[in-house]
Amino acid sequence: MLWYSKCNTEHSLVLQWGTRPPLGGDVDLKAIASDQRCDCFTGADLSALVREASINALRQQLSTSPPDSPVSGSSAGIQVSRQHFETAFQKVRSSVSVKDQITYEALRISLNQ
């Protein structure tokens, strides 16, 4: 079954579990989780957001490295900043529509009775 939650605390936990490389000091996972752009995000959507932000950080690192420097297999020196998340929000969208969200909530309520 699809994991879906309106709880910002659960959102921030999913974001925290999936965040590698390390976060920059300007990143507040609770603020990102409570951002209205995350309202209908599933666990997979949150994971995609973190992955996209990490890719943005890697792209920035590669674009600022000298062309002749060897590319390391590690993420040493790469940090995901708030700006990387902002850029990721432009690309990552919720996979659950508001209509689907209402349907899932009604299903959850009917199964709990």
In this prediction, residue 87 carries a pLDDT of 98
Is the pTM higher than 0.85?
no
Overall domain count for the chain: 1
* Secondary structure in 3-state letters for the chain: CCCECCCHHHHHHHHHHCCCCCECCCCCHHHHHHCHHHCCCEHHHHHHHHHHHHHHHHHHHHHHCCCCCCCCCCCCCCCECHHHHHHHHHHCCCCCCHHHHHHHHHHHHHHCC
Asked if residue 70 belongs to a domain, the reply is: no
pLDDT-based confidence at residue 29 (cuts at 50, 70, 90): confident
| Rounded mean pLDDT, 77-95 | 94
Residue 90 lies in a domain: yes
Percent above pLDDT 90 for the chain: 42
CATH code of the domain covering residue 102: 1.10.8.60
Domain assignment of residue 31, yes or no: yes
Q: Would residue 95 count as lying in a domain?
A: yes
Q: Is residue 99 part of a domain?
A: yes
Q: Which residues neighbour 79 within 8 Å (Cβ) at sequence distance 6 or greater?
A: 21, 22, 23, 24, 57
- 83 found inside a domain: yes
Domain of residue 91 covers 8-64+78-111
In a domain, 71, yes or no: no
